[in-house]
């Protein structure tokens, strides 16, 4: 079986910048093709307990957006061949100005933006600002979207769409079944390539999903591994790398 493409998620600065960098290094060594780096946010709408807890801890250190971008710049320098997508929420992007934020993100090495609470057709200029700065905006599709709205998104001309495989928050395991595949087919109907995530935790899920997406997305599973092994950097590296290898089929 060919290697499965993987977008792996981590929270900038969690539990420290050094351990977050160790985790990112392990993800890349384990075959991750894209690092999805989340800027810590106090009131997320899509994150489950593991990621919410990580964000809360980092923010308690007075971690700022600038710190997150500095961390991303370090990743970009260390892994220039690995795509980096920045994941955050609309208020962090809107407050400093969408264009100004996108310019700083691009300078740090970001290739794309994933902002779940900015609708694709009311994105405060995010798509245009990404394009102007050599990045792409990656909108989020969910099974709860009305059929006509999902069809409009699918045919809106985005290079990639992030498909949340179920409604609700991240963290719980997701069953990959015929309904999942049917949803993904609708998301890709207009030619956009699809990233599929929400509740991907093991290799069997990754294999079941791989033929329907360009890359699988795994987040909470990595955050929980980082939390469980934060006291031992070597063990953290080994366990995160092993999980990436499991998900990519290496």
Which of 47, 123, 245, 246 is catalytic? The answer is 47
Instruction: Tell me the pairing of strands 136-137 and 140-141.
Output: unpaired
17-29 and 65-78 helices, crossing angle to 10°? 40
* ∠ CA 199-176-186, rounded to 5°: 100
Query: Across the strands, what pairs with 164?
Result: 197
246 is annotated as an active-site residue: no
Out of 36, 123, 245, 246, which one is annotated catalytic?
36
**Residue 142: how many CB atoms within 10 A of its CB?**
18
One-character DSSP codes across 69-136: HHHHHHHHHH-TTSEEEEE--HHHHHTT-HHHHHHHHHHHT--EEE-TTS-TTS-TTHHHHHHHTT-E
H/E run at residue 229: none
Whether residue 136 lies in the annotated active site? no
Strands 34-38 and 6-11: parallel
Sign for the pseudo-dihedral over CA of 239, 241, 247, 249? negative
Active-site amino acid positions: 36, 47
């Amino acid at each position: 079986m060919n290697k499965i493409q993987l977008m792996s998620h981590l929270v900038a600065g969690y539990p420290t910048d050094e351990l977050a960098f160790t985790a990112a290094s392990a993800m890349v060594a384990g075959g991750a093709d894209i690092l999805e780096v989340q800027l810590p946010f106090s009131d997320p709408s899509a994150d489950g307990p593991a990621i919410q807890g990580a964000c809360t801890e980092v923010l308690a250190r007075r971690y700022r957006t600038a710190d997150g971008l500095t961390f991303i710049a370090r990743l970009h320098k260390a892994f220039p061949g690995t795509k980096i997508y920045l994941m955050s929420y609309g208020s962090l992007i809107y407050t400093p100005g969408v264009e100004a934020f996108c310019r700083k993100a691009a300078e740090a090495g970001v290739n794309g933006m994933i902002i779940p609470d900015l609708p694709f057709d009311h994105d405060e200029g995010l798509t245009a600002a990404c394009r102007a700065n050599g990045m792409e905006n990656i909108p989020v599709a969910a099974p709860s979207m009305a059929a006509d709205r999902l069809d409009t998104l699918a045919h809106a001309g985005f290079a990639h769409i992030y498909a949340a495989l179920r409604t609700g928050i991240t963290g719980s395991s997701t069953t990959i079944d015929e309904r999942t595949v049917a949803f993904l087919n609708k998301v890709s109907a207009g030619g956009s390539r699809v990233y599929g995530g929400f509740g991907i935790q093991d290799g069997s899920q990754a294999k079941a999903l791989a033929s329907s997406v360009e890359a699988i997305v795994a987040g909470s599973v990595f955050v929980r591994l980082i939390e469980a092994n934060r006291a031992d950097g070597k063990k953290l590296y080994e366990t995160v790398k092993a999980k990436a290898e499991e998900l990519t089929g290496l």
